[in-house]
Amino acid sequence: MKKTTFLTTLIALSSFASASLIDDAKKAGMQPIPSDKKALMKLIDNPKNPLNEAKIKLGKDLYFEPRLSKSNLISCNTCHNLATGGIDGVSAAIGHKWTANPHHLNSPTVYNAVFMDRQFWDGREPDLEAQAQGPMQAAPEMAISQEMAVKRIRSMAGYKKQFKDAFGDANITFKKIADAIGAFERTLVTPSRFDHFLAGDEKALSKAEQAGLKIFIDKGCASCHTGVGMGGSMQKFPIAKPYKYADIGDFKGDKSGRVKTPTLRNIAQTAPYFHNGAVWSLEEAIKIMGETQLGVHLSDDEVKSMVTFLKALDGEMPTITYPKLPAVTATTPKPVTQ
Amino acid sequence: MKKTTFLTTLIALSSFASASLIDDAKKAGMQPIPSDKKALMKLIDNPKNPLNEAKIKLGKDLYFEPRLSKSNLISCNTCHNLATGGIDGVSAAIGHKWTANPHHLNSPTVYNAVFMDRQFWDGREPDLEAQAQGPMQAAPEMAISQEMAVKRIRSMAGYKKQFKDAFGDANITFKKIADAIGAFERTLVTPSRFDHFLAGDEKALSKAEQAGLKIFIDKGCASCHTGVGMGGSMQKFPIAKPYKYADIGDFKGDKSGRVKTPTLRNIAQTAPYFHNGAVWSLEEAIKIMGETQLGVHLSDDEVKSMVTFLKALDGEMPTITYPKLPAVTATTPKPVTQ
């Protein structure tokens, strides 16, 4: 049995050429993160919230700004930690007063989130700017009111000028806070060797990685995990079989039972997996996806091969200078930790 | 009354020359952070844990490493946030399971902590390396066992090489984890205009700042807030009068009732003040210190003048590149959030 699978893999390895695999991947809808800076800027920009250097810098400061939480202790970066793949490394997000997400939802990575069609697991928001407003206000997350968030930021020296530089006027509003954070998040993209491969460099992936990609396409994984984001569309879940860990949390997707397909970029960095963070092993996650979504049983060798491919999606994380934030003043609303 | 104080200040302003004020400050024991890099390195180094580039880099990674907490959610930087003056901006530190410090102790800043004679409010540890072991293990802080901390770090790719580069051998131990963190913390010094002044540049402080410094010395503040750290020694507290907010928490200092003098460097960035974080206003903190420790009533103008001086202790924070930490593996102990 073991031997047969090994032979199958060998045959697979020799039966395709890299160039046609690139074509197959493109036919399956996969697209590279553009290496050309202008093309990338066009792809990640939001005409309703145009990117500029000052806005990105302000957004970075606000992304790390713990005074945007009721307690002074939680920032966007707490659950979407840029040092650890853009996630928090726990099953269900934990926020204000150590409250776990009431639906046992896992924090998705912020890296490459710009490429998702929709934001949140139920896809209820269209973009990062709209998304950013949610966790700040959610009681089990940062738990701050729009009013307190604005008062906090208005009270600290330096922010006024930053808003002026970013938006053209110095008035600080909750929407602008979220827009700046969204702008920063749009820049968090992580080009990988897979992008070089898609762009035509046949040697960017090893033969073993290419074999994994072929299985990935052949089995149908790319019907959802595709596009620049290698995910991001709303999809029915489960399809073929009940999800093994459906009893953890009560999340049922959107009104049509659809769940946002998570990105597979940096997937080896972002355990635990699934909307409820039930699975720590990438191998197990792949097997479950095969059964639950595709109705296929994947062999250990097929899973192993796909893991080899998926690791090639580990991208180059942007280098981030940790911010130096302003001091609170006499007018800054005090933290409320209880 | 108001007029008299104003005149007193005017007379103070004209009755001293900058050069003699520098002498007075030095006589009061104040010393600059050396501008010479070699002299600085000598001052901040620990012969038992010699600094090197690899160790400082590793220490930075570990300082931001949330997998060094039981929950995966808390790092050294959570309570000693390098973006916000090295503190957390709450009265009492909050850690694992949102537990407040049982003695209602405030997180002291990590910036310039290398210049303190002792570590912790009760001075129970001699240096940063010994200090770093405490919060990782403390149940209301990071709540991790030494064993779990070591297993976590050993399980992640890349750390082994970093320990080899830092310590000469690749074996990862809890002591080495703390030593690396301590080494990084030793580099967190923030030279200010006051240091240029002490080093002889009479124009580095404005006349108003110099007037504040003169009052600071004349009133006796410099008997404790002195040295390179502008604090750091163990001192009886309270001395002259009971501390106004003694009822918040149950901290009584060390066995002799002594409390570590906090640094005044960046003091305008590190509210709330005192060991129990009871006071948010620097003005009020100064008044209380005058009464509690020196037995003097400070006028509003004297306080204002000293605040002007203390703001000149706002230093240049080091620029920190946010780390890119390795992914967990199958052998990494899972987070325990409850």
DSSP letter for A294, please.
Answer: I
**CA-CA-CA-CA torsion for B24, B25, B29, B31, nearest 10 degrees?**
-140
pLDDT one-digit tens code per residue, B121-158: 999 999 999 999 999 999 999 999 999 999 999 999 99
Interchain pair B71, A94: CB under 8 A? yes
Last residue of one domain, picked from the residues A171, A186, A201? A186
In this complex, is the C-beta atom of A90 within 8 Å of any C-beta atom belonging to chain B?
yes
Asked, for residue B269, whether it belongs to a domain, the answer is yes
Report which of A317, A276, A82, A91 is spatially closest to residue A192, judged by C-alpha positions: A317
Cα distance between residue A144 and residue A121, in whole Å: 22
Residue type at position A29: G
Give the Cβ contact number of residue B313 at 10 Å: 23
Same domain, A158 and A226: no
In the predicted structure, residue B9 carries a pLDDT above the cut 80 = no
In this complex, is the C-beta atom of B280 within 8 Å of any C-beta atom belonging to chain A?
yes
Please report the pLDDT score of residue B73 as a whole number: 98
What's the predicted TM-score (pTM) here? 0.95
Asked, for residue B230, whether it belongs to a domain, the answer is yes
pLDDT one-digit tens code per residue, B234-248: 999 999 999 999 999
Asked, for residue A334, whether it belongs to a domain, the answer is no
Cα distance between residue A141 and residue A134, in whole Å: 9
Q: Which of B64, B89, B320 sits opposite A66 (nearest CB)?
A: B89
Please report the pLDDT score of residue B12 as a whole number: 54
Sign of CA dihedral A106, A110, A113, A119: positive
Min Cα distance A73 → chain B (Å) is 7
Same domain, A297 and A172: no
Supply the mean pLDDT for chain A: 96
227-256 of A, contacting B, C-beta below 8 A? none
Could you write out the three-class secondary structure of chain B? CHHHHHHHHHHHHHCCCHHHHHHHHHHCCECCCCCCHHHHHHHHCCCCCCCCHHHHHHHHHHHCCHHHCCCCCCCHHHHCECCCCCECCCCCCEEHHHEECCCCCCCCCCCCHHHCCCECCCCCECCHHHHHHHHHHCCCCCCCCHHHHHHHHHHCCCHHHHHHHHHCCCCCCHHHHHHHHHHHHHCCCCCCHHHHHHCCCHHHCCHHHHHHHHHHHHHCHHHCCCECCCCCCEEECCCCCCCCCCCCCCCCCCCCCEEECCCCCCHHHCCCECCCCCECCHHHHHHHHHHHHHCCCCCHHHHHHHHHHHHCCCCCCCCCECCCCCCCCCCCCCCCCC
In this complex, is the C-beta atom of B273 within 8 Å of any C-beta atom belonging to chain A?
no
Min Cα distance B3 → chain A (Å) is 26
Q: Which residues of B touch A268 (CB under 8 A)?
A: 327
Q: Please state at what angle helix B174-186 crosses helix B146-155, rounded to 10 degrees.
A: 80
Cis? peptide before B47, omega within 30° of 0: no
In the predicted structure, residue A7 carries a pLDDT above the cut 60 = no
Same domain, B148 and B211: no
User: Which of B73, B81, B248, B283 should be substituted to probe chain A, the one whose Cβ sees the most A Cβ atoms within 10 Å?
Assistant: B73
Please report the pLDDT score of residue B10 as a whole number: 55
In the predicted structure, residue B8 carries a pLDDT above the cut 70 = no
Asked, for residue B181, whether it belongs to a domain, the answer is yes
Residues in chain A, how many?
A: 338
Please report the pLDDT score of residue A15 as a whole number: 47
Q: Which of B280, B323, B334 sits opposite A83 (nearest CB)?
A: B323
Asked, for residue B328, whether it belongs to a domain, the answer is no
Same domain, B199 and B120: no
Q: Which residues of B touch A70 (CB under 8 A)?
A: none
How many beta-carbon contacts under 8 Å exist across A and B? Answer: 103
The band of A18, judged by pLDDT with boundaries at 50, 70 and 90, is confident
Last residue of one domain, picked from the residues A186, A204, A219? A186
Residue type at position B321: T
Residues A12-36: what's their mean pLDDT?
87
Last residue of one domain, picked from the residues B186, B203, B226? B186
Q: Which of A268, A334, A337 sits opposite B327 (nearest CB)?
A: A268
Residue A270 or A18, more confident: A270
In this complex, is the C-beta atom of B329 within 8 Å of any C-beta atom belonging to chain A?
no
Is residue A125 helix, strand or coil? strand
Q: Which of B72, B322, B330 sits opposite A322 (nearest CB)?
A: B322
Please report the pLDDT score of residue B71 as a whole number: 98
Residue B260 phi, psi (nearest 5): -70, 130
Same domain, A242 and A301: yes
How large is the ipTM?
A: 0.94
Half-sphere CA count of A121, side-chain side, radius 13 A:
20
Supply the mean pLDDT for chain B: 96
Residue A134 or B3, more confident: A134
pLDDT one-digit tens code per residue, A132-190: 999 999 999 999 999 999 999 999 999 999 999 999 999 999 999 999 999 999 999 99
- Please list the residues that pair with B81 across neighbouring strands: B87
Place of tokens 């540890």: B125
Please report the pLDDT score of residue B18 as a whole number: 86
pLDDT > 70: percent of chain B: 95
Is residue A91 helix, strand or coil? coil
Sign of CA dihedral B226, B229, B235, B239: positive
Residue type at position B182: G
The band of B16, judged by pLDDT with boundaries at 50, 70 and 90, is low
Give the Cβ contact number of residue A203 at 10 Å: 10
Asked, for residue B112, whether it belongs to a domain, the answer is yes
- Catalytic residues of A, by residue number, are 141
Residue A44 sits in which domain range? 38-186
Same domain, B162 and B251: no
Distant-in-sequence, close-in-space partners of B67: CB < 8 Å, separation ≥ 6: A84, A89, B152, B153, B156, B325, B328, B332, B335
Is residue B253 within 8 Å of residue B293, measured between CB atoms?
Answer: no
The band of A1, judged by pLDDT with boundaries at 50, 70 and 90, is very low
Cα distance between residue A106 and residue A274, in whole Å: 7
Please report the pLDDT score of residue A6 as a whole number: 60
Please report the pLDDT score of residue B17 as a whole number: 74
Report which of B29, B75, B38 is spatially closest to residue B261, judged by C-alpha positions: B29
Burial, A40: exposed, middle or buried (Cβ in 10 Å; 0-12, 13-18, 19+)?
Answer: middle
Interchain pair B90, A322: CB under 8 A? no
39-68 of A, contacting B, C-beta below 8 A? 64-67
**CA-CA-CA-CA torsion for A104, B72, B95, B264, nearest 10 degrees?**
-130
CA distances (Å), origin A91, targets A189, A215, A267, B156, B233: 24, 29, 15, 19, 44
Residue B87 phi, psi (nearest 5): -135, 180
- We report the CATH number of the domain holding residue B159 as 1.10.760.10
Asked, for residue B210, whether it belongs to a domain, the answer is yes
Place of tokens 């709209």: A130
Same domain, B177 and B200: no
Same domain, B17 and B157: no
Asked, for residue B262, whether it belongs to a domain, the answer is yes
pLDDT one-digit tens code per residue, A221-260: 999 999 999 999 999 999 999 999 999 999 999 999 999 9
Same domain, B65 and B175: yes
Interchain pair A324, B335: CB under 8 A? no
Cis? peptide before B326, omega within 30° of 0: no
In the predicted structure, residue A104 carries a pLDDT above the cut 60 = yes
pLDDT one-digit tens code per residue, B258-307: 999 999 999 999 999 999 999 999 999 999 999 999 999 999 999 999 99
Same domain, A145 and A207: no
Please report the pLDDT score of residue A70 as a whole number: 98
Residues B61-70: what's their mean pLDDT?
98
Cα distance between residue B305 and residue B9, in whole Å: 9
Interchain pair B90, A83: CB under 8 A? no
Residue of A nearest to B61 (CA): A83
Tally of structural domains, chain A: 2
pLDDT one-digit tens code per residue, A178-205: 999 999 999 999 999 999 999 999 999 9
In the predicted structure, residue A299 carries a pLDDT above the cut 90 = yes
Same domain, A72 and A168: yes
In this complex, is the C-beta atom of B184 within 8 Å of any C-beta atom belonging to chain A?
no
Interchain pair B90, A97: CB under 8 A? no
Selecting among B53, B65, B125, B141, the annotated active-site residue is B141
In the predicted structure, residue B161 carries a pLDDT above the cut 90 = yes
Cα distance between residue A156 and residue B85, in whole Å: 14
Q: Which of A72, A88, A269 sits opposite B89 (nearest CB)?
A: A72
Same domain, A182 and A202: no
Distance of CA B99 to the CA centre of its chain: 22
